[in-house]
Amino acid sequence: MSTEAMTSTRSSLPRWMTNLRAKEAIAGYIFLSPWLLGIILFIVGPMMTSGFLSFTRYDIVNPPEFVGLKNFIEIFTKDRLFWPSMMLTFRYALIVVPLSLIGALAAAMLLNQALLGTTWFRTFFFLPHLTPIVAAAVLWGWIFNADVGPINHWIRTITGSDNAPGWFRDPDWAMTGLIIMAMWGAIGGNTMLIFLAGLQGVPQELYDAAVVDGAGIWAKFRNVTLPMLTPTIFFNMVLGIIGALRVFAAAYVATQGGPAYSTWFYALHIYTRAFQYFEMGYASALAWIFFFVLFVFTYVQFRQSRRWVYYAGEVD
């Protein structure tokens, strides 16, 4: 049956054409091959390996020893840093991402007002985004210095009291410090540029129609600008949350996860278990839990997005 179908297709098409098709496919695969190989070598292979390792005890020196679900049970029942680190990582992401999206949208709208010197303002907003995270952590560490940093100096001057936050030295304030630092880098960054282009792409006639219907500034924003930007907001939200949940360098350099584990992010937890204690099996289990949580979280966001993301090009 299938042979018949194949011969009939082949006979209905001129021979050179099927050859051309095959040639095209082969060439396509050849150009694709570095990436295919890369996916196998650096993504799929390692993922399967770490999946396997998560069921073992492995300290690099001795061969991996199969322990079943022991790692997972230990993580959920005995690991005293697992739940706190997971929670504070999510708390961080769920504060940083929405705030930086709102900030980026506000900044983009400001830059869309055709003010004189807009190019300069755009550059000023964008520069923090260019600062290497490590350099940012170093310089903010100094700005947040509890004793002689400028921020605390201003806080003391304004409030008139000697009580100022200890920032990276203070368990209650270290997270806030990291959030401020992240926002500084994120608000004027790529998201803002993308929003700016999005704003400029909103069709003029939609605003005209809104004005005819008596819409004020807020109504125009709420009913025209915002819906038109939802695809961009969604895209940036998904990638932003994934990026924020993976926060490592900023925390490692600025606070080393402290003080008192107040910035002990999940990635720091994995890193410590893997590369300080060399518990590769245990750390792989931690990493897989992380991957699973991220996957579910992203999936839920995609499901939810159908309710609020509006694609202008979509027929439905």
Closer CB to other proteins, residue 95 or residue 151?
A: 151
* CA 275 vs CA 64, 143, 284: distances in Å: 16, 30, 11
Choice from 245, 257, 262, 272 touching other proteins (CB under 8 A): 245
Minimum distance from CB of 246 to other proteins (Å)? Answer: 5
Stretch of 3-11, 72-80, 128-136, 161-169 lying at the interface with other proteins (CB under 8 A): 128-136
Length of the chain as a residue count: 316
Q: Does 72 bind other proteins (CB under 8 A)?
A: no
Between CA 306 and CA 178 the distance in angstroms is 32
Q: Does 176 bind other proteins (CB under 8 A)?
A: no
Closer CB to other proteins, residue 107 or residue 178?
A: 107
Choice from 173, 224, 244, 262 touching other proteins (CB under 8 A): 224
- Residues 4-23 close enough to bind other proteins by CB under 8 A: 21
Minimum distance from CB of 194 to other proteins (Å)? Answer: 4
Choice from 201, 260, 277, 300 touching other proteins (CB under 8 A): 201
Stretch of 4-12, 67-75, 83-91, 131-139 lying at the interface with other proteins (CB under 8 A): 131-139
Q: Does 253 bind other proteins (CB under 8 A)?
A: yes
Residue 56: φ, ψ to 5°: -130, 165
Closer CB to other proteins, residue 81 or residue 242?
A: 242
- Residues 140-159 close enough to bind other proteins by CB under 8 A: 140-143, 147-150, 153
Q: Does 310 bind other proteins (CB under 8 A)?
A: no
Minimum distance from CB of 125 to other proteins (Å)? Answer: 6
Minimum distance from CB of 96 to other proteins (Å)? Answer: 16
Q: What is the DSSP string of the chain?
A: -HHHHHHHHHHHS-HHHHHHHHHHHHHHHHHHHHHHHHHIIIIIHHHHHHHHHTTEE--SSSPPEE-TTHHHHHHHHT-TTHHHHHHHHHHHHHHHHHHHHHHHHHHHHHHTT--TTHHHHHHHHHHHHHS-HHHHHHHHHHHT-TTT-HHHHHHHHHH-SS----GGG-TTTHHHHHHHHHHHHHTTSHHHHHHHHHHHTS-HHHHHHHHHTT--HHHHIIIIIHHHHHHHHHHHHHHHHHHHHT--HHHHHHTTT-STTTT--HHHHHHIIIIIS--HHHHHHHHHHHHHHHHHHHHHHHHHHHHH---TT---
Q: Does 93 bind other proteins (CB under 8 A)?
A: no
Q: Does 272 bind other proteins (CB under 8 A)?
A: no
Number of residues that bind other proteins (CB under 8 A): 115
Minimum distance from CB of 25 to other proteins (Å)? Answer: 4
* CA 277 vs CA 60, 244, 248, 273, 274: distances in Å: 11, 25, 18, 5, 6
Stretch of 6-14, 66-74, 166-174, 210-218 lying at the interface with other proteins (CB under 8 A): 210-218
Closer CB to other proteins, residue 175 or residue 268?
A: 268
Closer CB to other proteins, residue 95 or residue 293?
A: 293
Stretch of 1-9, 83-91, 168-176, 213-221 lying at the interface with other proteins (CB under 8 A): 213-221
